[in-house]
Amino acid sequence: MGYRDEFRKSIDAPDDFWREKADLIEWLKPPEKILTRHDEHTYTWFEDGELNTCDLALDTHVRNGLGDQKALIYDSPVTGQKQAFTYRELTDRVARFAGALAQHGVTRGDRIIIYMPMIPEAVIAMLACARLGAVHSVVFGGFAARELAVRIDDARPKLILTASCGIELQKVIPYKPLVDAAIDQAAHKPEGCIVYARPQAEARMIEGRDFDWAEQEANAQPADPVPVKATDPLYVLYTSGTTGKPKGVVRDNGGHAVAMRYSMSLVYGAEPGDVFWAASDVGWVVGHSYIVYGPLITGCTTVLYEGKPVKTPDAGAFWRVCADHGVNVLFTAPTAFRAVRKEDPEADHLAKYDISPLRRILLAGERLDPPTYEWLREKTGLPILDHWWQTETGWAICCNPVGLETLRPKPGSATVPSPGYNVQILDFSGQPVRPGDQGQVAIRLPLPPGCLTGIWGDQARFIKTYLTPLPGYYTTGDGGYIDEDGYVFIMGRTDDVINVAGHRLSTGEMEEVVASHPAVAECCVIGVHDELKGQLPVGLVLLKDGATIEHDELEDELVEMVRERIGAVACFRRAMIVDRLPKTRSGKILRRVLRNIADGEEYKVPSTIDDPTILTEIESRFRP
């Protein structure tokens, strides 16, 4: 079946479509009910089915004779370590650690916070929780104590699982003091804390509350998988950049498992036995979906990388990992390759490595700018595929459906809606717009399996945030358009549309133009308040290494390029060369904070920022 037939069936006959996809996984009790509508806002998938996600990810493959296949490869340039686990070895480790959790009274439905670096024990912790039917909430390792505390109070975990430290490039970041401070600040007090000791830092242990990971695991009896309902929660993941009360996205077990198995084939063209590398972090949704659950449920070998795209040790880091481990599919964020391109614009490092097993590279997490797309395509000769999704959806809303057929890519487009996602472009009154016209990107209900089922402890907030603004639709918060061929173009968050003298203009379009300049490695365009025109665009530009162009010359050329491609209506007249752009640890540029700085407004330094000193530097440029 080709893409169009498959997509049409998913929209016209969702029960039949998802019944077929449910057969891709091994249920403990196969579902009879596929889609159940409870009210205008609430739909459930596979509600009478039973399964265990850890069993699907591990035990199933051992039972089916794949116990000796590599399941997990750990590659850590920051420590010089490499380690591989077969499916049998990983199953044994997870079962034993699940037994350790059970000795602490962890049972189905209990919450566990995981605050760990990118080490195998982070994956083991997630799967051990799933094995018991406990609900894990992974908090990005290194988050400030206050941010961890508010998540403790929201999730109310029985235990916290952590490590003595994380490592950022050459810097060791002790985790235990952060955990201790968070517990002190939190109103809810977890019953215990299990700490994995790393040699780079020693953790101070509190008697009666803190326990050594290795001892706990060594003295435990292996635990069997606990059957859970398809609608039981698997995890809660707090969205990055949360202010005030955190927003915990809830993912169920059944719909998630089906979506993971289907999407691995549909979106990534990955099959059992492939080596799959999602260069992300388990603290983000990409790590949940495509470092841990998607690849392991599918029977792939997954790569866990503790390093950076550059400086560990150089801009050839990604190519080295692909060559060392025979990676077949690589998935990362555009910002990673923008960093590589900045330091190695001619891709000299790539020539040092044999990446011939690599079939395709996929990018998501932010807009894939055409210059990065073209650079990657030219230097690697591989298919470079954009796709678009959100923490809330858990898998791709739009993709190039290579598991069905490979469609001709269009730079700047995430290609077409994935089967199951009825994507519509609506104006600000909620009415559909014509092909090519920009508007709000919305998804007609019901959302397909694998998407969020709510916000932890606050279903009213879920409905108000995502379902009320456009009745009958899930509101993505992104703006974009669908062209006459059905290709979806995401132009950025709807608040990244600026109003210049009454003209609504996309900063994303301007960024495409600015980024196409041969001296520009990366850029960001924001709208700055103007008394006459309402807002005016300003570009912040990061130069490629070795670029020698003067500021005034570059600004003149960028102004002319925007005028030629978008028009004088854009009023793009100002560009600033900066040394760095402020980003979250997941690589997203902090545009809202930049707007606040530019407009002279107060701003909150987000807990997710990778280096807060960047904001001070940029503030000095706007407020000399």
Q: What is the pLDDT of residues 11-52, one digit of tens each?
A: 999 999 999 999 999 999 999 999 999 998 889 999 999 999
Average pLDDT over residues 491-506: 64
| pLDDT tens per residue, range 427-469 | 988 999 999 999 999 999 999 999 999 999 999 999 999 999 9
454 and 543: one domain? Answer: no
Q: What was the pLDDT predicted at 600?
A: 84
| pLDDT tens per residue, range 103-145 | 999 999 999 999 999 999 999 999 999 999 999 999 988 777 8
Give the range of the structural domain holding residue 422, as residue numbers without chain letter: 3-307+387-480
Residue 372 is assigned to a structural domain of this protein: no
Task: Write down the mean pLDDT value for the chain.
Answer: 92
CA–CA gap between residue 203 and residue 177 (Å, rounded):
8
Q: What was the pLDDT predicted at 376?
A: 97
Tell me if 358 sits within 8 A of 350, measured CB to CB: no
The residue behind tokens 């009958």 is 472
476 and 513: one domain? Answer: no
* Cα separations in angstroms, 558 against 2, 495, 571: 42, 23, 12
127 and 90: one domain? Answer: yes
CA–CA gap between residue 615 and residue 361 (Å, rounded):
32
Residue 485 is assigned to a structural domain of this protein: no
518 and 445: one domain? Answer: no
- Of 480, 515, 541, which residue constitutes the final position of a domain? 480
What's the pLDDT band for 243 if we cut at 50, 70, 90? very low
Q: What was the pLDDT predicted at 586?
A: 64
Residue 61 is assigned to a structural domain of this protein: yes
Query: CATH code at 599?
Result: 3.30.300.30
- Of 449, 480, 511, which residue constitutes the final position of a domain? 480
Residue 369 is assigned to a structural domain of this protein: no
Q: What was the pLDDT predicted at 532?
A: 66
470 and 513: one domain? Answer: no
193 and 238: one domain? Answer: yes
Residues 218-252, buried b or exposed e (16+ Cβ, 10 A)? eebebbebbebbbbbbbbbbbbbbbeeebbbbbbb
517 and 449: one domain? Answer: no
Angle between helices 14-22 and 254-266 (to 10 degrees): 90
Tell me if 282 sits within 8 A of 138, measured CB to CB: yes
Average pLDDT over residues 72-78: 98
Query: CATH code at 433?
Result: 3.40.50.12780
524 and 439: one domain? Answer: no
| pLDDT tens per residue, range 369-413 | 788 899 999 999 999 999 999 999 999 999 999 999 999 999 889
Average pLDDT over residues 537-562: 90
- Structurally, the chain folds into a number of domains equal to 2
Residue 493 is assigned to a structural domain of this protein: no
Q: Is the pLDDT of residue 58 over 80?
A: yes
Q: What was the pLDDT predicted at 539?
A: 93
Q: What was the pLDDT predicted at 173?
A: 92
For the chain, percent of residues with pLDDT exceeding 70: 95
Q: What was the pLDDT predicted at 351?
A: 96
474 and 505: one domain? Answer: no
- Amino acid (1-letter code) at residue 381: G
Q: What was the pLDDT predicted at 496?
A: 63
Tell me if 7 sits within 8 A of 416, measured CB to CB: yes
Look at residues 214, 224, 223, 153 and name the one whose alpha carbon lies nearest to residue 188: 153
Burial class from Cβ neighbours inside 10 Å (0-12, 13-18, 19+) for residue 489 reads buried
164 and 299: one domain? Answer: yes
Q: What was the pLDDT predicted at 241?
A: 41
| pLDDT tens per residue, range 138-175 | 998 877 788 899 899 999 999 999 999 999 888 999 99
615 and 472: one domain? Answer: no
Report the predicted TM-score, pTM, of the whole model to 2 decimal places.
Answer: 0.85
Residue with more model confidence, 165 or 604: 165
Residue 348 is assigned to a structural domain of this protein: no
524 and 433: one domain? Answer: no
- Of 450, 480, 510, which residue constitutes the final position of a domain? 480
Residue 151 is assigned to a structural domain of this protein: yes
Residue 142 is assigned to a structural domain of this protein: yes
Average pLDDT over residues 355-365: 96
Q: Is the pLDDT of residue 529 over 90?
A: no
* Cis preceding-peptide flag for 446 (omega within 30 of 0): yes
